[in-house]
Amino acid sequence: MANPSLLAPLRGGSGSRGAAVRRTGGNRTPHGRRTLTAYLFLAPFLAIFLIFVLFPAVYGLWISLHVWNPLLDDHPFVGLQNFFDLFTPGSLTFDDFWESMRATGIFVAASVPLLLAVPLGIAVLLNRRIKGGTVFRGIFFAPYVLGVAVVSVLWRYLLDPQLGVVNAVLGLLGLPSDTPWTVDVPWAWISLVGITVWWTLGLNTVILLAGLKGISPDLYEAASLDGAGAWRKFTNVTLPGLRPVMTFVVTVTLLSSANMFGQSFLITQGGPGTETRTAIMYIANQGLVQNQMGAATAMSYVLFAILAVVSVFNFRLQRDNTK
Partner 1 sequence: MSTVTETIPRTSRRVLAPSVLSYVALFLISFIIVVPLLWMLLTSFKTDFDAINSPASPWPNPFTIEAYVTLASGDLPILRWFANSVIAATAQTVIILVTASAAAYALARLEFRGKRIVFGAIVATLLVPGVIFLIPNYLIVDSFGWLDTLWAIIVPGSAGAFGVFFLRQFFISLPAEIEEAARVDGAGDFRIFWQIILPLSRPALATLAVLSFLTNWNDFIWPIYVLLSPENLTLQPGLSVLQGTYSTHFGIVMAGAVIASVPVLILFTLAQKQIVESVASSGVKG
Minimum distance from residue 10 beta carbon to partner 1 (Å): 7
Amino acid at site 94: F
Q: Does 313 bind partner 1 (CB under 8 A)?
A: no
Q: Name the minimum Å distance from CB 243 to partner 1.
A: 11
In 3-state terms, what secondary structure has residue 27? coil
Q: Is 155 helix (H, G, I), strand (E, B) or coil?
A: helix
Give, as ranges, the residues between 8 and 47 that touch partner 1 (CB under 8 A): 8-13, 15-16, 19-20, 23-24, 31, 34-35, 37-39, 41-42, 44-46
For residues 160 to 189, the per-residue mask of contacts with partner 1, x marking binding by CB under 8 A and - elsewhere, is ---xxx--xx-xx-----------------
Number of residues that bind partner 1 (CB under 8 A): 118
276, 268 Cβ separation under 8 angstroms = yes
* CA pair distance 267, 148, nearest whole angstrom: 10
| Cβ contacts of 154 within 8 Å, gap of 6 or more | none
Query: Of the candidates 216, 207, 219, 199, which has an alpha carbon nearest to the alpha carbon of residue 246?
Result: 207
Which residues lie closer than 8 Å to 161 by C-beta, 6 or more apart?
Answer: 167, 178, 179, 180, 181, 182, 183
Among residues 90 and 129, whose Cβ is nearest to partner 1?
A: 129
Binding test (CB under 8 A) with partner 1, winner from 208, 275, 276, 277: 208
Beta bridge partners of 77: 66
Q: Quick one: which of 67, 266, 272, 310 contacts partner 1 (CB under 8 A)?
A: 266
Q: Contacts with partner 1 in 93-152 (CB under 8 A)?
A: 122, 125-130, 134, 136-143, 145-150
Name which position in 76, 80, 113, 213 contacts partner 1 (CB under 8 A): 213
Q: Which residues contact 122 (CB under 8 A, 6 or more apart)?
A: 140, 201, 205
CB of 276 to partner 1, least distance (A): 16
For residue 244, state whether it binds partner 1 (rule: CB under 8 A): yes
Residue among 154, 183, 185, 310 that touches partner 1 (CB under 8 A): 154
Nearer to partner 1, 89 or 321 (CB): 321
Does the protein bind partner 1 through residue 231 (CB under 8 A)? no
Question: What residues from 54 to 73 belong to the interface with partner 1 (CB under 8 A)?
Answer: 54-57, 59-60, 63, 70
Q: How far apart are CA 308 and CA 258, in angstroms?
A: 11
Rounded Cα distance, 171 and 189, in Å: 22
288 binds partner 1 (CB under 8 A): yes
The span from the CA of 272 to the CA of 247, in Å, is 35
If you count them, how many residues does the chain have? 323
Q: How far is the CB of 122 from partner 1 (least distance, A)?
A: 6
Name the packing angle between helices 239-258 and 293-322 (round to 10°). 170
Q: Which of 97, 181, 189, 248 binds partner 1 (CB under 8 A)?
A: 248
Q: Nearer to partner 1 by C-beta: 38 or 239?
A: 38
Q: Could you tell me the smallest distance in angstroms from the CB atom of residue 179 to partner 1?
A: 14
| Cβ 242 to partner 1 shortest distance, Å | 10
CB of 280 to partner 1, least distance (A): 5
Alpha helix stretches (DSSP H) within the chain: 17-24, 28-49, 55-64, 81-86, 94-126, 133-141, 148-158, 165-172, 187-213, 217-225, 230-233, 239-258, 262-263, 279-288, 293-322
Nearest distance from C-beta of residue 92 to partner 1, angstroms: 18
